Amino acid sequence: MAATVQTVQQQERSFWAGLGSFYLSPASVALLVLNLLDGLFTLTFLQLDVAEELNPLMRVAYESSPLVFMVSKLIIVNAGLTLLCLHRTLRASRLAIRAGALIYAIINVYHLAFLAHLVRHWPHLA
């Protein structure tokens, strides 16, 4: 029994010690920045009434208020990224972070293309 308690305590100590060495990889930082840009692009397009939010959860957040939309978006992605970073020793976590950054990069390229389209056709949209 004493050995089990000691083992559990050692596991807890190693878990909390691991948190002290929290590390954000370049892909993690890219994911955070690209998520923020996605939110700002989306919010801008929604405010201009040239797009609609297709994600039902984020649509409800936006209908509540633009601030709730942005805070929700940032919290959801940051919480997921935090969990992945805490388990960064797992190959799947590192791949998920890279995949997330790649997906957000593609989304932001789409936003830039959409913005270029709006600028080219702005007089005709009014």
The whole-angstrom separation of Cα 1 and Cα 78 is: 39
pLDDT range class, residue 121, cuts 50, 70, 90: confident
Q: What is the CA radius of gyration of the chain?
A: 20
Classify 55 in phi/psi space as left (phi over 0), alpha (psi -120 to 50) or beta.
beta
DSSP 94: H
- Give the tens place of pLDDT for each residue, 12-68: 666 555 555 667 899 999 999 999 999 999 999 999 999 999 999 999 999 999 999
Query: pTM of the entire structure?
Result: 0.79
Contact 70, 39 (CB under 8 A): yes
- What pLDDT, in 10s, does the model give residues 59-112? 999 999 999 999 999 999 999 999 999 998 999 999 999 999 999 999 999 999
Contact between 78 and 32 (Cβ < 8 Å): yes
